[in-house]
Chain A
Amino acid sequence: MHLVTAIIKPHRLEDVTAALKGIDVNGITMSEVQGFGRQRGHTEVYRGSEYNVDFVPKTMIQVACDASDADKVADVIADAARTGKIGDGKIWITELSRVVRIRTGETGTEAL
């Protein structure tokens, strides 16, 4: 079992969600996050003073899936999230050691 975590531009969320539904993923978790990568934030102006703002609003989505599907999920997210401009985000895949479905107590791939 793998967890695909992607940081994307907030306005790509709708397209990414639609694309993931298209390959029948079991579930998606999204959260609003703030961060920076090579883009190194941006400047903002508040009441006449300029500020270097490191943390830019981003959207994080997480999809738990079977190990064999992880690469496909990552590809689908990347294709749907890409704008070609700086700040498109990153995707990483991690291994999951144990998954439990709370309602039934099922574990492992059954619980996905």
Chain B
Amino acid sequence: MFAVELLILVPLVGAALCVGVGRLSARASRLASLGATIASAGVLAFLAAEGIFSGVALEGWRVARDTVPFWDLRIDGLSAPLLALTALTGLVAVLASWGEHNRSSVHHALLLGLQASVTGVFLAADVVLLYVFWEAVLIPMYFLIGIWGHENRRHAAMKFFIYTFAGSAFMLVGILMAVFGIGQTDISMLVSGRTALAQPSLVFWLIAIGMLVKLPAFPVHTWLPDAHVEAPTAGSILLAGVLLKMGGYGLLRLALPISPGSFAHAGIVFAVLGIVGIIYGAALALVQSDLKRLVALSSVSHMGFVLLAISAGTERGIAGAMLVMVSHGLVAPLLFLLVGQLYVRTHTREISRFAGLGVVTPRWGSALTFGALASLGLPGLSGFPGEFLSVIEAFGAWSWPMIPAMIGVVIAAAYNLRAVREVVHGPPAEEWRALRDLDAGDLVPVMLLVAAIVVLGVCPAIVLNMSGDAFATLAELIAGGV
């Protein structure tokens, strides 16, 4: 059905429109990009009526393979929640860069281009198409960091590009080995024909390397803090909100189904990498003096939970991984948005320079407190169900060695509360007496995210319903081995 295509085409057309009307006025191009993100959210809402959010799988418009080769789109339980997340964070990113004055039409066009490519990754049912979108994501992000980033942006942009490009290069070899070994490019055909693979574990690890870099998992995570710190706010929002999710999605969509047998040895590796990531990210976040770097490192920690949850290999474990991903896709953008709004007003992110902002800017202060609570996994907010599930399931699979993951949860509480205590509480610093609080325009994206966090926290079943049988199928594949 053609509406599936529209999810990619609408942002693309919007991007072209942005550049086109950018010559008239910056305001026109902002409105065009806002219109495009709202329209794509509208398309998604229309698809919701078709039932994609209740576990129904939906094929894209069928085109003949020889007119548009490799073009094959599909929405299923695995991609539906992430598509919703992409639509929401895309909208938030556009709102967050409303005040961008430096070449704003190109900025908005790149944001929309990024949204289109990420959507493409989640929609692609063909492995070549998936790779095409996967790589296409790099380009707008590179320019977003490189042109609109902060002081050290060139270095960060290059580091981001080289790391993720290196990862996806290995992934490409893995994909090609699978494609030529099986003789299909359709992902579901690859999965059903996987027994033809000569070296399934090699294929698995080649693909998994690309995903682990993107996620990012422990030893290859170092690009993330730099990219986040230097990226403009909208860039950080999309990076944390959806780009990182591509890693987890890829593992669940591609690596594990093509070679479920590899899970026998990959599971323990994922568990170890996950735990190290949780502890390491949290410990580093605890000692940061830069507020944005703190949020960035907390992402490393949260993504550790995704790996840990996947390592359990059970249906509930995979559901937990998806919940953590979606929740992190809401919480991290909220925190980046707030830090960005603070930076615009003060031009600093040093935690030690702030105090008592709760008094000076009560709306900002309460939003940050809310974000921190969501990030540390307070029950009732979105962070809790996913992390709870992942720890429980990992404990079920690996028993006592999972104790360190609990420590990670404790450190998460420590660094989040420390940030809130130093920045929001205490007597207000003289320097920021006259600080402006959030106005209505700033509050719109904040409230969007806050609402989503509460809804997901109260009712995680939303995501679980969306995913339908996808998790069960995956868990069966893994349990079946080979």
* Co-complex (A, B): no
Give the B-binding residues of A (Cβ under 8 A): none
Give the A-binding residues of B (Cβ under 8 A): none
